[in-house]
Amino acid sequence: MKERLLDLLACPTCGGDILLPYASKYDGKEIMEGVLSCKKCSREYKVTSGIPRFADLAKIEEDKAETAENFGWQWTHFTQENEQYAGQFLGWLQPVSPEFFEGKVVLEGGCGKGRHTRLAAEWGAKEVVGTDLGDGVESAFAATPHLPNVHIVQCDVYKLPFRRKFDYAFSVGVLHHTPDPKRAFTSLSGMVKKGGHISAWVYGAENNEWITKYVNPVREGFTSKISQPMLYQISKLPTLSVFLTTKLVYRPANIIAKPVAKKLFYNDYLNHLGTFGWREQHNIVFDHLVAPTAFYISKEDFEKWWDEIKAKDVEIIWHNQNSWCGFGQI
Ligand SMILES: [Zn+2]
C-alpha cells in the first residue's frame, strides 16, 4: 500500500478518515505490513502483504464469500498475460478509449488478477485503485509492482472504503456475480464525484436463454460446488469442443464466408472466442462454470440502474450479441 492512498480511503463502516498509526514493514515504495485505523470509530484494518484488508472472507455472507473464493482460485491460477486483453477490455468499455484515462483518478470494482488495473495505469491514469473481495488481489498486487500509480485494496463492493473522489469508476464482468448487481453498481457509482463517469459491462438476458436454460443448472448444481482443481481438469472437456468449433468452423467461416457465418449460432461471441488460444479459452470456460451466482440482465433492467443513479448522457451498447456495455456521467 502506498501512503498517499490514505487520501482516497474512508472507513467502510462510518465514513471516517483513515489513519496509519502503525507500519511494521515498509519496502521503500509500499507499506507491506501495518495497521490502519479510523479516526472516528477507532476500528482497525490490517495491511498484510502490501494490501489493505477491509473485508474478511470469514466474516461476510456465505454466498458472497463463496463467489470470492471460487474466482480467487481462478485468478491465482490463470495468471497468464495476453496481448489481446487491451482490445477485449476496450470492447467492454465502449465507447471509452485509452486517452480517456489520462490524468484521471480511477476506481475498479472487481479487479481479479489486475489485468485491467494494469491497462488503466499504462494508459495514463493518475491513480488506479483495483479492488476485489477474493484472493485475486494477491495476483493483482504481484502483477503491478512496477506501476507507481496502482493501488490494490481488498474490500466488499457493497462497503467500499473510499471517499467520493474518483473521476471514473468501471466494473467489467463482476457486478452480475454479486448477490444484488444493481446495489453493487449503485455503491460503485457513489464513489464517483459529480461530473465524473462510470462504465459497467454485464451479461445480457437477451440471446443468452440457452445458457440460462442449459448451462446454469449445471453450474449452479455441480460445477460451482466441486473443488476448483477438479473443475480445472473437468473444464478441459467443454474447452476442447469450444476450441475445435471456434478454430475449425467459426474463424474460417467468418474469414471466407461472412454472410453464412452471420447465420451461425452465437456467431459474434464464438468468432471472438476463436481469436484466443487454448489457455485463454480454458480460462473463459472455467470462468463460466465456476461462479455460484450469475445474473443475466435485460436491457430494460440495465437502463433502470442508470436512471436510478440519475446518470446523464447514458450510452448502452449491445456487445458481441450477448452482453451490455453502459457508460454515463454522474
Ligand atoms: Zn469508522
| pLDDT tens digit sequence for 101-156 | 999 999 999 999 999 999 999 999 999 999 999 999 999 999 999 999 999 999 99
Residue 314 binned pLDDT confidence (cut-offs 50, 70, 90): very high
Backbone angles phi, psi at 24, to 5 degrees: -100, -15
Query: Of 14, 29, 18, which is closest to residue 53 (Cα–Cα)?
Result: 18
What average pLDDT does range 89-94 have in this prediction?
Answer: 96
- Ligand 1 centroid – CA 10 distance (Å): 8
81 DSSP β-pair partners: none
The amino acid at residue 236 is K
Residue 211 binned pLDDT confidence (cut-offs 50, 70, 90): confident
End-to-end CA distance of the chain: 28
Signed CA dihedral, 291, 322, 98, 274: sign only: positive
Cell of 163: 471517499
For ligand 1, a single-atom ion, the residues with CB < 5 A are 11, 13-14, 16, 38, 40-41, 43
Query: Mean pLDDT in the chain?
Result: 94
Count the neighbouring beta carbons within 10 Å of the beta carbon of residue 263.
Answer: 9
CA separation for the pair 146, 112 (Å, rounded): 18
Q: What is the per-residue pLDDT across 222-231, written as a single tens digit (0 to 9) for each? A: 999 999 999 9
**Residue 263: which residues within 8 A CB-CB, separation 6 or more?**
none
Residue 34 binned pLDDT confidence (cut-offs 50, 70, 90): very high
- Ligand 1 centroid – CA 17 distance (Å): 7
Residue 47 binned pLDDT confidence (cut-offs 50, 70, 90): very high
CA 57 to chain centroid: 18
Residue 182 binned pLDDT confidence (cut-offs 50, 70, 90): very high
Categorise residue 310: left if φ over 0, alpha if ψ from -120 to 50, beta otherwise: left
Residue 81 binned pLDDT confidence (cut-offs 50, 70, 90): confident
- Ligand 1 centroid – CA 15 distance (Å): 6
**What is the percentage of the chain residues whose pLDDT exceeds 90?**
80
**Torsion angle (degrees, nearest 10) of CA 307, 266, 258, 244:** 140
- Ligand 1 centroid – CA 101 distance (Å): 31
The amino acid at residue 147 is L
